[in-house]
Amino acid sequence: MSQLDRHEARELHVGHDDVAWMLHAWHEALHQVGASVEVDLYACGMAVVLEQLGDCHTFEGLVTRFQAPDDALVDMLLWFCWNGEILLRPQLLLSASCALRLHELIAETIM
C-alpha cells in the first residue's frame, strides 16, 4: 500500500473532533493573518497558495491537501515564507489559505 493509499484510508476515518479542530485552526489562522503587521505579505502569499489549492473542489480534497501537501506546495510555502527579509510562518499561511478556499467552496455551493 503506497503512502497516498494509506493517507486516503486514514482520511475516511477522520472523526467529528478532527474536523472541528481543523475548522477551528483554519479560522484562527485567518484571524491571526488578518491581525498581523505582515497582513499584506500574507495576502500575497495566500493568493499564490489559493492557486495551488484551486483544484480542491471538496472539503475532503482540501483536508487531504492540508494534511499531506504535495512537494510543489511545500516548496512554494517554504520559498515564500523564508526567502524574504521578513520571515512568515508556512503553517499559518497554509491554514489561512485553506480557510479562504473553504469559504470559496461554500460560496460556489450556495450560488
Distance of alpha carbon 53 from alpha carbon 60, whole angstroms: 12
Distance of alpha carbon 37 from alpha carbon 33, whole angstroms: 8
pLDDT, residue 63, reads: 92
Distances (CA, A) of 27 to 5, 11, 12, 39, 101: 29, 21, 23, 15, 11
Number of folded domains that form the chain: 1
Task: Per residue of the chain (111 residues), give pLDDT as tens.
Answer: 444 444 444 444 567 788 899 999 999 999 999 999 999 999 999 999 999 999 999 999 999 999 999 999 999 999 999 998 899 999 999 999 999 999 999 999 997
Distances (CA, A) of 1 to 6, 8, 11, 13: 6, 11, 15, 17
Q: Residue 84 in contact with residue 41, Cβ under 8 Å?
A: yes
Instruction: Identify residue 32 by its one-letter amino acid code.
Output: Q
Q: Which residues constitute the domain of residue 30?
A: 3-110
